[in-house]
A and B are shown apart, each in its own frame.
Chain A
Amino acid sequence: DAKTTQPPSMDCAEGRAANLPCNHSTISGNEYVYWYRQIHSQGPQYIIHGLKNNETNEMASLIITEDRKSSTLILPHATLRDTAVYYCIVRANFGNEKLTFGTGTRLTIIP
């Protein structure tokens, strides 16, 4: 069963903020939200992850709702190189928990 739901595709104008939503209504208390992206013909790349607090790094910000049932990945100033498939994944942060990729969101940055 899919643990996350994402829109299949989104467009964003270059230079604007790209906001990618993810629903994870069945998330467990010990599960984190991870975001990876995959640029065409490359391997997936880690972006950011969080448990319940909002997180920011050099690539993006992650906003998690208080009930943890949804989150939003924010790319503050999208560039053409941000065009990729973005995967939202929930997983526990212990043991040998694997990454289970869903269908992701294909983000296209428009010049």
Chain B
Amino acid sequence: DAMVIQNPRYQVTQFGKPVTLSCSQTLNHNVMYWYQQKSSQAPKLLFHYYDKDFNNEADTPDNFQSRRPNTSFCFLDIRSPGLGDAAMYLCATSDMGAGGQIAKNIQYFGAGTRLSVL
């Protein structure tokens, strides 16, 4: 059974038209991550939530926003997609234990949403 679910698997949007990608998890993990992976490149972290605490990477463009309304769901909003934002977007979760210790520090990834910008 899928534990980190991303919908849709494929998303097509128009240049400049806002788009939202969704991620849900059944693991009850307190940390959720969004990565961007462009063709033939490694995944690159955009930001993550530790519970409701949002942590943005320094080089993530303002065009990318995120929302986490509850433990299970996390959304990636791209306010004005450009052609350069076409990529695979990966959601991941991990479980951070008490005191900031991570027992195994394993991240569980969804299958990703492939975004095309026309």
- On whether the two chains bind one another, the answer is yes
Q: What's the minimum C-beta distance from B107 to chain A, rounded to whole angstroms?
A: 6
Q: In the complex the two chains form, what is the Cα distance from A52 to B33 in whole Å? A: 28
* Pairwise interchain contact B108-A46, C-beta atoms closer than 8 A: yes
* Pairwise interchain contact B42-A87, C-beta atoms closer than 8 A: yes
Which residues between 28 and 71 of chain B lie within 8 Å of chain A, taking CB atoms?
A: 31, 33, 42-45, 48, 50, 55
Given contacts A43-B90, A43-B112, A46-B108, contact A101 B100 (CB under 8 A): no
Interface size on B, residues (CB 8 A): 27
Contacts of B90 in A (CB 8 A): 43-44
Q: What's the minimum C-beta distance from B80 to chain A, rounded to whole angstroms?
A: 26
> From DSSP, what is the main secondary structure of chain B's interface residues?
strand
Count of CB-CB pairs between chains A and B under 8 Å: 59
Interface residue tally on A, bucketed by range: 20 to 34
* Pairwise interchain contact B48-A98, C-beta atoms closer than 8 A: yes
Partner of A45, one of B45, B105, B109: B109
Nearest neighbor of B103 in chain A, beta-carbon distance: A93
B residues sitting closer than 8 Å to A (CB atoms) are: 4, 31, 33, 42-45, 48, 50, 55, 90-92, 96, 100-102, 104-112, 114
A residues sitting closer than 8 Å to B (CB atoms) are: 32, 34, 36, 38, 41-46, 49, 87, 91, 93-104
Using A32-B105, A46-B107 as known contacts, list a sample of 20 further A-B pairs with CB atoms less than 8 Å apart, ordered by residue number in A.
Answer: A34-B105, A38-B43, A41-B111, A41-B112, A41-B114, A43-B4, A43-B92, A44-B43, A44-B92, A44-B107, A87-B42, A91-B105, A93-B102, A95-B100, A96-B31, A96-B100, A97-B102, A97-B105, A99-B45, A101-B44
